[in-house]
Structure 1
């Protein structure tokens, strides 16, 4: 969409007119891009031919609204249909998966032609990162959105034979951050070694305003200095609260286990019976006995009921992160020395918040007289 002037074809098992009405309601600048809707099934070769799938520059297979295993099974069948197109495919295929465990099978069937994105898992990890580092969500929004700088991959033959460190200073309007290695089947290498030599066929991954706003300049002499030694800041125990339950909550716990300092606490506040939680976590391949850095503390309750919220130590909250599912509240600095106190930004994300989360936010702000929460992050 950002380049404009192209054609996007939507093939779905819905009425054509309904899809066109839904798209017309979007408040989005299509920048000259044409959107064509066709009613049909991606599982039927005749319908795939109807939309000239073999000529598509890229193919995106979206997850369905079914359960995770059913959605992934359908995605696998779609990939089989695409592989079976006799005319072959010109573009690559990106498949949205619902379960991380289904990813290898889809890659096995699709081969090098297919890339998979486990959106649910990726978003869960991003939300944890954003909650632990206030302000990071705005950075992701800028990079992954279409309003500001974006990622672009392009080949520059004039850079062949140069080291990656030279490419870093070759652009005044772009930031090189990776290489698409032609010799390794197009594998993306993020932040390669400075001595990596750009070979024929390699493409450079950069962050730039648009794909036509940057070009390499003649090499200039760089005066290199001695970088000062910088040590990582000390990590202190933190206390985090999960309100709600996600099917991949075991993965989120393992991410926190890797990021937090020893002595940290994870409070799990939801309506799932406490006796059932350990079974669900174990079914998700989480060995609670192997957790070293975090301790799980269970509380049963509903986040939209005031008296349930009042049972939590809300007066200690410094930062809150509201998710569609679950509500995620981060408590930072609760266990660190008073001399190491932090000042958090007062920025608030301007986004649409579901009524029930506004209700939760109001309840949590009034449940105790000394709530110290001064940062609210929301996402849908």
Structure 2
């Protein structure tokens, strides 16, 4: 019997501070009742309370404060019982206080450990931790400026206090957005449930900085899928995978409400297109981040039945680029006589969703003087690629898709590059083994003879060490160019986003590519999943593309015209004007003269060197 009693006491003690507190509270109530009965039955007339309630209350006070025993008077049995009760009260109180203190300390430690559930709804969940989490948080904060009580919940296998301190240090002002960090395994469904993904607006899965990050991303996608009550319910999940071969597995793991971006293909397309077109890097950067102008989708029932060309002129401070049909199809730059349906949404570029506003009435077509269009001539280009990594084959393939026949691509790396003539179809492709970090090698290559130069970061487990060689090559190129800007465009890839600041673009057409651009795209898709298909179309080598053309091809130079006139002049040739690049401002960072969605009423005199940012060709993006 004694052994069984001790066994039960051990089990009770093992349940922790809450169980001990309840036990001691029950004993305290029992002692209060016994003290009350003692006073009610045996106390002298001066100490006896009136009624049962008063006696229990008096007994409770004697348990809390045994010093009341000093005022007792009466027979010896009563005093002896009071002494016993006083000692019992002293033992209870001396045990209860440490139990409460230990319980509070355990709760504080649990809160610091970040294991308490998140009670939020309509928040954004970020699973995983990498150097890109600060970019994602900063972008989401910018997107949440027009919302009230926005929240971002982060789950990662790190200490909660360290995560919160690092975000406060590197993410910048939070502008009213609350950041909630929790410690747990992003691939464990029980830990993922702590941040309540089923009640979130969106879920972003970040790849860890490890040897094979795609495996962790796929496991996290499976964990999120386990928290869904139904496969087609819950928020959209966005993620990025390094290897394009893992794209299908990641999409299958995430389910129908998942958008997965291939880092390999995205980086290759971005580097090639930004290198081949002067100023395009600034256009893409502004479309991908939330600080400038972004792509939105707006439902305007009052415009139902209007022609697309009429819709172009219907907005005060937004530039229309397409339509989204009721069935999910997206028409980019559709024909002008395309009618807007009642359930259709308008795809447009605007500074914020709050700036999307209709004009009181659609203005009439202005009288547009069209200059004679010179036939476009695609000349052969020469490209110098310094370094080799997993993106090289895709980059050469993209160059083959964008460049005309006869263009030359020269690859120089200290390892045998994984490319051959099959990757660069139609290109004059040559490969050279050399250490591109050495200045004599760069001098012998004569980079000034090329139209475009790309510096690739080598693959490796140490991003900082890999970036050290890339920075050396980049600085040598800038030193060889002298004080003036080089004639070629320069695109550089960095493995660690923290080194991007060290390699800050020196020229208006330089682009530093790192994981931050993928983070910008994931942040955009988390706010609007349909943008994933639009970005895929814009970065594709064919179809609807963003290009920069001389302003003199569309409007007279050195003559005041409004951007509204530019829009109509460009539309007459089947394109859409979404901005311009002013040559006299190319040295002004961060946009280097690029301005999207400019005020269409301000008169401006274009110079021959100025360019118009166009959306060319028409395309139909099928539903997901």
Once residues 265 and 73 of structure 1 are traced to their aligned partners in structure 2, the CA distance between those partners, rounded to angstroms, is 38
Q: C-alpha displacement at 1:142, in angstroms?
A: 2.3
Q: Quick check: 1:317–1:373 contact (8 Å CA) kept in 2?
A: no
User: Structure 1 residues 181 and 72, CA, compared in 2 at 3 Å: closer, same or farther?
Assistant: farther
Residue of structure 2 equivalent to 1:201: 343
Match of 1:9 among 142, 148, 153: 153
User: Structure 1 residues 86 and 243, CA, compared in 2 at 3 Å: closer, same or farther?
Assistant: closer
Once residues 482 and 183 of structure 2 are traced to their aligned partners in structure 1, the CA distance between those partners, rounded to angstroms, is 56
Residue of structure 2 equivalent to 1:249: 392
Q: C-alpha displacement at 1:86, in angstroms?
A: 4.4
Once the two structures are overlaid, the 10-residue window that deviates more, 12-21 or 195-204, is 195-204
Aligned ranges for residues 261-272 of structure 1 at < 5 Å?
261-272=404-415
Q: C-alpha displacement at 1:113, in angstroms?
A: 0.8
The DSSP-based 3-state class of the residue aligned with 1:310 is helix
Aligned-pair RMSD on alpha carbons?
3.0
Residue of structure 2 equivalent to 1:350: none
Q: C-alpha displacement at 1:94, in angstroms?
A: 1.1
Q: How many residues align?
A: 339
Once the two structures are overlaid, the 10-residue window that deviates more, 198-207 or 52-61, is 198-207
Match of 1:81 among 195, 217, 223: 223
Q: Quick check: 2:384–2:454 contact (8 Å CA) kept in 1?
A: no
Give a deviation string over 1:79-125, Cα, whole Å, max 9, x none. 22222224454321112122223223333443431112223421221
Output the TM-score relative to the length of structure 1. 0.78
User: Structure 1 residues 85 and 295, CA, compared in 2 at 3 Å: closer, same or farther?
Assistant: same
The DSSP-based 3-state class of the residue aligned with 2:260 is strand
Q: C-alpha displacement at 1:168, in angstroms?
A: 1.2
Name the larger-Rg structure.
Answer: 2
Q: Quick check: 1:314–1:371 contact (8 Å CA) kept in 2?
A: no
Match of 2:213 among 44, 68, 71: 71
Q: Quick check: 2:251–2:260 contact (8 Å CA) kept in 1?
A: yes
Matched, 1:310 2:438: no
Question: 5+ residue gaps in structure 1?
Answer: 282-286, 327-353
Q: C-alpha displacement at 1:360, in angstroms?
A: 2.7
Residue of structure 2 equivalent to 1:340: none
Q: C-alpha displacement at 1:254, in angstroms?
A: 1.2
Once residues 483 and 433 of structure 2 are traced to their aligned partners in structure 1, the CA distance between those partners, rounded to angstroms, is 23
Once residues 31 and 11 of structure 1 are traced to their aligned partners in structure 2, the CA distance between those partners, rounded to angstroms, is 21
Matched, 1:217 2:350: no
Once residues 378 and 30 of structure 1 are traced to their aligned partners in structure 2, the CA distance between those partners, rounded to angstroms, is 27
The DSSP-based 3-state class of the residue aligned with 1:182 is coil
Once residues 64 and 37 of structure 1 are traced to their aligned partners in structure 2, the CA distance between those partners, rounded to angstroms, is 17
Q: C-alpha displacement at 1:257, in angstroms?
A: 0.6
Once residues 82 and 27 of structure 1 are traced to their aligned partners in structure 2, the CA distance between those partners, rounded to angstroms, is 26
Matched, 1:240 2:353: no
The DSSP-based 3-state class of the residue aligned with 2:354 is coil
Matched, 1:143 2:256: no
Match of 2:162 among 18, 41, 44: 18
Aligned ranges for residues 1-380 of structure 1 at < 5 Å?
1-2=141-142, 3-4=144-145, 5=148, 6-26=150-170, 28-67=172-211, 70-88=212-230, 89-184=233-328, 187-220=329-362, 222-223=364-365, 230=373, 232-273=375-416, 277=417, 280-281=418-419, 288-289=421-422, 291-317=424-450, 320-322=453-455, 324=457, 356-357=469-470, 359-364=472-477, 373-374=486-487, 376=507, 377-379=510-512, 380=514
The DSSP-based 3-state class of the residue aligned with 1:240 is strand
Name the structure with the higher helix share: 2
Q: Quick check: 1:318–1:373 contact (8 Å CA) kept in 2?
A: no
Q: C-alpha displacement at 1:59, in angstroms?
A: 0.9
Once residues 113 and 370 of structure 1 are traced to their aligned partners in structure 2, the CA distance between those partners, rounded to angstroms, is 51
Once residues 115 and 322 of structure 1 are traced to their aligned partners in structure 2, the CA distance between those partners, rounded to angstroms, is 30
